[in-house]
């Protein structure tokens, strides 16, 4: 979507009063900085990809699909926020767009990878609390690393829930938990690798075993 179209859609749907600039682009979505009622917000827009051979056709990336992906991420963001996990405060969603708190002041909050940590051990404990809080909210991030953890005033926030696994449903919960486990271990090993560079010993396997014993992940099939 062009910036003009994004601005028009955001204003028309009362998500923003004005869109100021593009903050960043990912594989599926763009994030913009804007203002609504005087407050700075981030607008996340899932892009609609059109096929090159059919000018007006959309294949696999229809409005409904992008809307459902945005709705899923927004719902997970809301649940994490309500569970006390430090995430950007969710605001509103319309179709393939949603808004959330802007983490930053004159400049956006840096990624963890770009921060010189005064107390790396304290930061490591913060990220473990994030993982534990998400598990309590029945979420595994699935793509957690120093690239999607932001630092603002020495507090860490987790972003980007596109690949998160939600195991809150009672219908197929056992299946979803089994799907989530390798992603949880990968998240922890990503963090272990990063903090090893900061001379902090974060034992991913030990934390993983501890989390598996929690009520949220110790699912028992009915007899």
Distance CA(155)–CA(130), nearest Å, equals 11
Q: Final residue of a domain: which of 101, 124, 143?
A: 101
- What confidence tens digit (pLDDT) does each residue in 11-52 have? 999 999 999 999 998 888 999 999 999 999 999 999 875 444
Q: Final residue of a domain: which of 41, 75, 101?
A: 101
- 147 and 125 fall within a common domain: yes
3-state secondary structure 204-221: HHHHHHHHHCCCCCCCCC
Of residues 171 and 59, more confidently modeled:
171
Total of domains in the chain: 2
Distance CA(99)–CA(15), nearest Å, equals 7
Q: Final residue of a domain: which of 73, 101, 129?
A: 101
Q: In the numeric block, which tokens belong to residue 20?
A: 């100021």
- Alpha-carbon radius of gyration of the chain: 19
Residue 106 maps to a domain:
no
Q: In the numeric block, which tokens belong to residue 210?
A: 């501890």
- 126 and 207 fall within a common domain: yes
Q: Give first-to-last CA distance, the chain, whole Å.
A: 51
* Beta carbons of 47 and 25 less than 8 angstroms apart: no
* Among the listed residues 76, 10, 2, 87, the one whose alpha carbon sits nearest the alpha carbon of residue 44: 10
CATH number at residue 71: 3.30.200.20
* Residue 3 predicted with pLDDT over 60: yes
pTM: 0.89
Structure confidence at residue 63 (pLDDT): 64
- 92 and 42 fall within a common domain: yes
Give bridge partners of residue 41 from the DSSP assignment.
34, 101
Contacts for 177 with CB less than 8 Å, ≥ 6 apart: 167, 217, 219
Residues of the domain holding 201: 112-212
Element (H, E) at 135: helix 120-136
Count Cβ atoms below 10 Å from residue 198 Cβ, excluding itself. Answer: 14
Lowest mean pLDDT among 59-63, 96-100, 165-169: 59-63
* Residue 108 predicted with pLDDT over 70: yes
- 95 and 8 fall within a common domain: yes
Element (H, E) at 80: helix 63-82
Distance CA(72)–CA(156), nearest Å, equals 23
- What confidence tens digit (pLDDT) does each residue in 118-134 have? 999 999 999 999 999 99
* Residue indicated by tokens 């949220």: 216
Contacts for 159 with CB less than 8 Å, ≥ 6 apart: 87, 88, 103, 148, 149, 150
């Amino acid at each position: 979507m062009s910036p003009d179209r994004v601005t028009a859609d955001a204003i028309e749907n009362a998500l923003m009063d004005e869109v100021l600039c593009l903050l960043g682009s990912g594989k599926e979505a763009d994030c913009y900085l804007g203002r609504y009622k005087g407050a700075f917000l981030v607008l996340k827009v899932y892009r609609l990809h059109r096929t090159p051979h059919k000018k007006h056709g959309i294949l696999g990336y229809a409005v409904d699909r992008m809307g459902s992906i945005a709705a899923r991420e927004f719902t997970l963001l809301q649940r994490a926020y309500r569970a006390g996990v430090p995430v950007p405060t969710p605001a509103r969603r319309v179709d393939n767009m949603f808004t959330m708190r802007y983490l930053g002041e004159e400049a956006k909050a840096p990624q963890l990878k770009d921060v010189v940590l005064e107390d790396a051990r304290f930061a490591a404990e913060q990220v473990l609390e994030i993982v534990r809080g998400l598990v309590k909210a029945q979420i595994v991030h699935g793509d957690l690393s120093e690239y999607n953890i932001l630092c603002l005033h020495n507090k860490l926030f987790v972003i980007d829930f596109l690949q998160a696994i939600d195991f809150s449903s009672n219908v197929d919960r056992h299946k979803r938990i089994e799907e989530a486990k390798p992603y949880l271990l990968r998240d922890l090993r990503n963090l272990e690798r990063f903090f090893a560079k900061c001379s902090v010993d974060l034992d991913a396997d030990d934390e993983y075993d501890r989390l598996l014993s929690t009520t949220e992940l110790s699912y028992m099939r009915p007899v």
